[in-house]
Amino acid sequence: MNRMLGVRAIEIDPSAPRGILYRDLAASLASLLEGESDALANLANASALLGQALERINWCGFYLLRGEELVLGPFQGKPACVRIAMGKGVCGTAAARRETLLVPDVNAFPGHIACDADSRSEIVVPIVAGGSLRGVLDVDSPEPGRFDSEDRKGLEAFVATLTPRIDWDAV
Ligand code: SME
């Protein structure tokens, strides 16, 4: 447990086998959010934790549901498009279907929204709390086929750890 600077986070080895990496990531997220109720701060730290722990990615962060569209939330990476309509792009499609989308080649995904021209593959996990869609977690990589079923499982576990710890009405 690393308590430097008052931040509680378990040490994560980005090169660990993915099962171990994602287990440590979920535990680290729970520790990082413990005792803090500010939703924006917690989402910002969650994106930073992912950005530090995942190798070979160029963007990770949140789009939050605002009315009928997704709006950019806390993230790590280059500035990104701010608004995505439901059903549009990978994010809007995952949100509309409420299911994880794993896209090995973004250029082969009809309607993919290219925020960072370096992105080659992408995974988007919807965030559903108490039956309501709240947004998505989006992770991009400059490497084709970067994400597989282990990443899907691990990132869904990350979102499952995050979801009950955020006051979604406050973001
Ligand atoms: N590629 C996404 C847009 C968000 S950026 O990748 C950060 C999409 O098609 O929805």
What is the secondary structure of 31-93 as a DSSP string? HHHTT---HHHHHHHHHHHHHHH-SS-SEEEEEEEETTEEEEEEEEES---SEEETTSHHHHH
What single DSSP character describes residue 9? Answer: B
pTM as predicted: 0.94
Ligand 1 pocket by C-beta < 6 Å: which residues? 59, 80-81, 84, 89-92, 112-113, 115, 119, 122, 138, 140
| CB contact at 8 A, 109 and 29 | no
What single DSSP character describes residue 97? Answer: H
For a pocket test of ligand 1, which of 47, 113, 141 has the largest count of ligand atoms closer than 8 A to its C-beta?
A: 113
Nearest to 98 by CA among 110, 87, 109: 87
pLDDT in tens, 46-103: 999 999 999 999 999 999 999 999 999 999 999 999 999 999 999 999 999 999 999 9
**């082969």: which residue's tokens?**
108
pLDDT in tens, 12-57: 899 999 999 999 999 999 999 999 999 999 999 999 999 999 999 9
Q: What are the start-end ranges of the E strands in 80-156?
A: 83-85, 101-103, 121-129, 132-141
